[in-house]
Structure 1
């Protein structure tokens, strides 16, 4: 097993069971305790786990979000594949909405240069990356900027979304499950995401498989509110079928 595969296994188990133990993991994976401790240090630097005595706990259990840069460094290849698959849902012309997130940001980077689009976004990095593109009319959804995600929230953002209606909204999420739908740690961001769903003719969710079965404080949508879910091949076929049973079409890249 490669180090990346081992580390993904550790994260998945931590999210499933609430914590992981160094000795148990070393025995299960047939490696030394020192190898597991190095893995935990890597995962902590990536903002996925927090080291505790004898093991680690997923950051979701600690009530805070990893910073944007930490999240962007994780599962880069998967996020790139998701973004490329999402290009098929970008209209030839019209309007789209890009939520704040690391995968939606990757979609922004590869938007076609031959399409005339109006792009709404509440994400500072996305707005800045698109502002110089002559073929795009970029409308920035302003408001209070959350330092952890660089997303604009609160009344100004909500008012702008209430007055808008786009062809497709590309949404991000911190967590999702068949039982609880789409969730995020911050209530202000949840309110904005909910308004985004209401402001779009179609909603496409972009999220890697690690968001599955990870539930957070604030729910902003049911799976039935989503038209399409684009993820990576790490999502198992059975779970994909369960999600499709709730409404959205599932694309595994």
Structure 2
């Protein structure tokens, strides 16, 4: 069976059963779990299915649903952990400043920050701020404003005003979607407004996201693709997507 035939068969199964696991698909089609994950990544990008932790569900199941921090924390955890570690290569020298956007992937960067380098860290994430508050080498600034419960991100006019007064060496930004045409996107207008100001405040913008978000477009664009300097993602990124991003002078790192 050719890859395209297998992918169509997988999409049909997802539609019939409502949810399928990577392990079951691997056994049914006699291919490795890595091959199944690549198939699901292709189907997710084309909008035929939506990848979830351990498998896939019909695309319509997740439409207009924004997952909270707890649900997202367990999704593609291994990939996010590798991305967080790989993103450390973009840290500024000692004494430099970083901005950590709210999100479960940017939280992995906070978890792996070196303890022997003095840094100024700015974040709008309550969980990230709580973690970094115990780092003796980090001078922490928590953006003020309203806390959005579902993502535990600080948003609103106060947050935007504070960000407008800052100039950051490196901003690590999460995204719900990334395409050449639509740029970086997210479903919530308040978070989009804060992310937009984060991008504007930084000398260098490093987007950290797993490969399932690449090729996906969400409701609100907060930055065109040209404002992304580097992308750190997992090794399931399609070669065609890497080549397309490289044409826009985006440094792509896969973990």
Say whether the fold is shared (TM-score over 0.5).
yes
- Matching residue of 1:150: 152
1:82-129 superposed Cα distances (whole Å, 9 cap, x missing partner): 111111111222110000111100100110000111100000000000
In the other structure, the counterpart of 1:113 is 115
SS at match of 1:2: helix
Alpha-carbon distance between aligned partners in 2 of 1:68 and 1:47, rounded to the nearest angstrom: 18
Task: Show structure 1 runs of 5+ residues with no match.
Answer: 21-39
Contact 1:48 1:66 (8 Å CA) reproduced: no
Which residue of structure 2 aligns with residue 13 of structure 1? 43
Match of 1:37 in 2: none
* 1:7 shift after superposition: 6.5
Give the whole-Å Cα distance in 1 for the aligned partners of 2:167 and 2:192.
Answer: 18
**Deviations for 1:199-224, whole angstroms, at most 9, x for unmatched residues?**
11101010110001211111011111
SS at match of 1:134: coil
Match of 1:2 in 2: 23
Other-structure match for 1:90: 91
Q: Give the whole-Å Cα distance in 2 for the aligned partners of 1:69 and 1:117.
A: 28
Name the CA distance, whole Å, in 1 between partners of 2:148 and 2:130.
16
Aligned residues: 224
What's 1:235 paired with?
Answer: 237
Q: Aligned-pair distance for 1:48?
A: 8.9
TM-score with structure 2 length normalisation?
0.81
Give 2:205's aligned residue.
203
Whether contact under 8 Å (1:100, 1:172) holds in the other structure is: yes
Provide the aligned C-alpha RMSD in A. Answer: 2.2
Contact 1:178 1:223 in 2 (8 A): yes
Residue in 2 that maps onto 1:24 = none
> What is the CA-CA distance between 1:15 and the residue it aligns to?
4.8
Question: Which deviates the most, 168-177 or 62-71?
Answer: 62-71
Question: Scaled by the length of structure 1, what TM-score is found?
Answer: 0.82
Matched, 1:248 2:250: yes
**Residue pair 1:104, 1:172 contacting (<8 A) in 2 also:** yes
Gaps of 5+ in 2: 1-21, 25-32
Residue in 1 aligned with 2:30? none
Distance (whole Å) between structure 2 residues aligned to residue 13 and residue 110 of structure 1: 32
Q: What is the distance in 2 between the residues matched to 1:248 and 1:196?
A: 18
Measure, in 2, the Cα distance between the counterparts of 1:243 and 1:95: 26
Cα distance in 2, alignment partners of residues 238 and 221 from structure 1: 22
